Structure formats: C-alpha cells, structure tokens
Chains A and B, each alone.
Chain A
Amino acid sequence: QTVVTQEPSLSVSPGGTVTLTCGLNSGSVSTIYYPSWYQQTPGQAPRTLIYSTTTRSSGVPDRFSGSILGNKAALTITGAQADDESDYYCVLYIGRGISVFGTGTKVTVL
C-alpha cells in the first residue's frame, strides 16, 4: 500500500520561514510523481497552491514555493503571514491513473 507522509504539525513565527515535506513509503519522491500542494482552511474546500513540483497556481503569492529536497517534495513558506495558518496537503501521482494524498500538515503561525 502506498503511503504519502507529511509532518503532522509545524509552527512558524510571523515573517518566518517553514518547510513542509512530502515523502513516499516506497522510495524517493521525484518530479515524475508530479507533486502538487493544496491549502485548506476549516470548513473550506482545498485551494491549489503548487503543481508539477514548482509551479505556482494562478493568484498564489510568491512566498509559497515548491521543490524537491533530498528524497521528498517540499513546500516552503517564506515570510509567513497569519492567514497562512491552515492545513496543507501534498498529492502524488503514482501512475495507472492513481493519485495519493499525503497525511496533511497543520501549520500554526504564532
């Protein structure tokens, strides 16, 4: 069974930088998994932030950036703001039409 793991929770100070990661139990994450990232606030539908590892979706501030760090996909928030406090999910495409959501990271800005 494919499992995509994320940090359960992270905290960041206003104006600070935080990096979330997205790992795969069966091996390394690379661009061939087309990592994408989604932000979700309570009671709302997810919002697309990043796709194809590094591409920001339309209207997403440039303080959000995506990358591959070591063997994981990563989402970095640089200059965190209060309204970045949300849940964040990565998604990996593992082939044969199958997508797998990560376990999610709750980011607190304090």
Chain B
Amino acid sequence: QLQLQESGPGLVKPSETLSLTCTLSGGSFSSHSYYWGWIRQPPGKGLEWIGTGYYTGSTFYNPSLKSRVTISVDTSKNHFSLKLSSVTAADTAVYYCARLIDLGFTYYFDYWGQGTLVTVSS
C-alpha cells in the first residue's frame, strides 16, 4: 500500500524559507503516469494547490506562489521536497503532499499524506 509522509520544521520565522519533505513508501517515483504535489490549508480555510513535480524534473506552480516556490523530486532518496521562500504569517497552514495521476484522459489526486502543520512566527 502506497504511503506518503510529510516531515520538516513545525515553526518557521518570518522572511525565512519553509522546507518540507514527503517520503514515499510502497511505490516508485519513476512512472510517467504520476506527478507529486503539495497542497496547503490555512487554519479554518480551504485547500490550495501549491504545485506539482515530475520525476524528470518538470514542475508546475500555482501562479500566485510561483515566485517563491520550488518543488523537486529526488528519486534516489525516494522523496520530494517543497521550499517556500520569504514566508509570512499568511503561509501558516497544514501542508499536504499527494500523488497526482495523469493518464492523459484522467487527472486527480489519489493518495495523500496525513499533513503537517507549519506555523510562521517569530
């Protein structure tokens, strides 16, 4: 059974860079059918797509966050990462990693991590 697990600091100072890792077990990154994504949810608010990465290095980002986001997939370490720079209190959220299926005729998130809360505060 495929599992995703987020990890990283739960507290980040304003203006610094938020860094999270999502570790994959029970599956492989090296499939042309799967992308690897990050989604966040501020406390009491809705879900927001941050971006997705592909094992070849291709990435796609939310236009509203694009200037601050970097997603990378490390197949040798079986994980993918999120970096969000110049954070503010507005970036406080539960961050989820998820697998995205893209078969050309279907496109959806099928597996999700449990989520990790990141608080931006000095």
Which A residues have a C-beta under 8 Å from some C-beta of B?
1, 34, 36, 38, 40, 45-48, 51-52, 55, 57, 89, 91, 93, 96-104
Contacts and interface: CB of A to CB of B under 8 A. Distances in A.
Interface residues of B, number: 26
A34 B107 CA distance: 6
Contact of A36 (B35, B37, B48, B108): B108
B109 A91 contact: yes
A103 B47 CA distance: 8
Contact of B108 (A47, A91, A97, A98): A91
A99 B47 contact: no
Interface in B96-120: 96, 100-101, 105-110, 112-115
Given A96-B60, A98-B62, A104 B46 contact: yes
A47 B47 CA distance: 13
B23 to A, nearest CB: 15
Given A89-B46, A98-B63, A48 B109 contact: yes
Q: Which 9 A-B pairs have the closest CB atoms?
A: A97-B60, A51-B108, A36-B108, A34-B107, A104-B46, A45-B112, A52-B106, A101-B47, A93-B107
B39 interface: yes
A48 B63 CA distance: 24
